[in-house]
Structure 1
């Protein structure tokens, strides 16, 4: 099998990880409604772990020391702040109404719109960040296959280990933001196909796109930090802080998200 074909097949397998949220569809709407705050908490840990344990360290390795990486992370934060503000202006229903019906209940604003019409802007912001992340992952996998088949396989496994938990978290964020579970699964899958675009660009353009991906890494990290810190954590504090058992559940799921994102680092360290 040629390296380009192996790269595309590997990225397609990683893209299918976006369907991991399907595991929750079998729970039923009532049970999903009870655990959605746990999925969101898991997403917080996965996003922050992905940004701080993978994307930012990789950015420093690719771009070198100095303030460049930090400035690009800040640029990502500010860019997604502006994007969310724009979506709020275009979408006058805003997040509170959507969050009130996050798992399928009516939003109660009486305009007769469908569920997606009342979805929170941060859910779309999350999708944009996810697409950018998947494009970068696809580029990384394709570039590794250009080195050797063995390097590509190892990279694919590492990417898959951090992609599955993040995709489960993304699914929870979309449902919490007002999308129906099935629509959230579909959008998450479409976002997952961004990996094929990233791989295709690397295979066609070669090292030129790889250099661009180095700059997208910290911007994507800033996006994840923004979404987790400005949208998800405040909502968890506002809506799910009591009773104490829920707060403990939040913390444990955040730690689980961080731990799973740290797993590829531990495996990689053990392999040296």
Structure 2
């Protein structure tokens, strides 16, 4: 099997395996307690962005920290503007779907956070594909281990993504389908890296920062305000514990990684 064929096969597996594993949790018992799991998603998204992706971007050789911070600011403002002009507002939980929604439900359900999480996830998977391709081009065995490590550390983020999509009104089927499509962005990243490795490497830190900006924006602007609507002290304590669980899950798998 050639290096390119290996990259195609392994990036496809890496892009879909973590999604399917996360779906087995998120779309079964976790989907029955979406409101509680929103707190876990906040912890996962913030920890992924602030403890994993951003440090990785800032420690890459040759990066300009000021330019990366400018990219982060541009990403946050960009997602704000996209939400503001309603480019990403689209409901995937429709009236007449058997859930007894009242008239006007489609207009009220905000799918914007779902679309933004897909944008960030797609960019993140693209970067993973670049990493896998670079590893395979160095050594076949290193490529295999790199793919396994990426699958492992992607699982908690994918769980968080599924909860965000369900909370945004996506059906289980659509959440799975769109996450799988985003997972295949790893194949695109792998192929482009195979032919343009140097350019792909140069863009990686900025892509990681843009993906991180989507995770931070969704957690802070969409999910946390939902949690504030349940201000009772017992509920607040539970939310804090669940956020800590999400952060702990990312830290644990990062340590294993």
- CA apart distance, 1:42: 1.9
Cα distance per residue 1:184-211 (max 9 Å; x no partner): 1111111111111111111122222221
Q: Secondary structure at the match of 1:87?
A: coil
Matched, 1:232 2:231: no
Instruction: Work out the CA distance in 1 between the residues paired with 2:5 and 2:231.
Output: 48
**TM-score normalised by structure 1 residue count:** 0.81
Matched, 1:162 2:146: no
- CA apart distance, 1:65: 5.4
**TM-score normalised by structure 2 residue count:** 0.85
Instruction: Work out the CA distance in 1 between the residues paired with 2:215 and 2:183.
Output: 16
What is the aligned partner in structure 2 of residue 18 from structure 1?
19
Matched, 1:171 2:162: yes
What is the aligned partner in structure 2 of residue 47 from structure 1?
45
Matched, 1:67 2:66: yes
What is the aligned partner in structure 2 of residue 135 from structure 1?
126
> Is the 8 Å Cα contact of residues 38 and 167 (structure 2) preserved in structure 1?
yes
What is the aligned partner in structure 2 of residue 198 from structure 1?
189
Distance 1:112 1:164, change over 3 A: closer
Q: Secondary structure at the match of 2:256?
A: helix
- CA apart distance, 1:118: 4.1
Q: Secondary structure at the match of 1:67?
A: helix
Instruction: Work out the CA distance in 1 between the residues paired with 2:213 and 2:144.
Output: 28
Instruction: Work out the CA distance in 1 between the residues paired with 2:65 and 2:25.
Output: 43
> Is the 8 Å Cα contact of residues 39 and 239 (structure 2) preserved in structure 1?
yes
1:1-272 mapped onto 2 (5 Å cutoff): 1-16=1-16, 17-19=18-20, 20-27=22-29, 32-33=31-32, 35-62=33-60, 63-64=62-63, 66-87=65-86, 91=89, 105-108=99-102, 110-111=103-104, 118-238=109-229, 240-242=230-232, 244=234, 246-267=235-256
- CA apart distance, 1:243: 6.4
> Is the 8 Å Cα contact of residues 46 and 216 (structure 2) preserved in structure 1?
yes
> Is the 8 Å Cα contact of residues 44 and 233 (structure 1) preserved in structure 2?
yes
Which ranges of structure 1 fall in alignment gaps of 5 or more residues? Answer: none
Q: Secondary structure at the match of 2:163?
A: helix
- CA apart distance, 1:170: 0.7
Instruction: Work out the CA distance in 1 between the residues paired with 2:55 and 2:222.
Output: 24
- CA apart distance, 1:255: 1.8
Root-mean-square deviation (CA, aligned residues, Å) is: 2.9
- CA apart distance, 1:121: 1.4
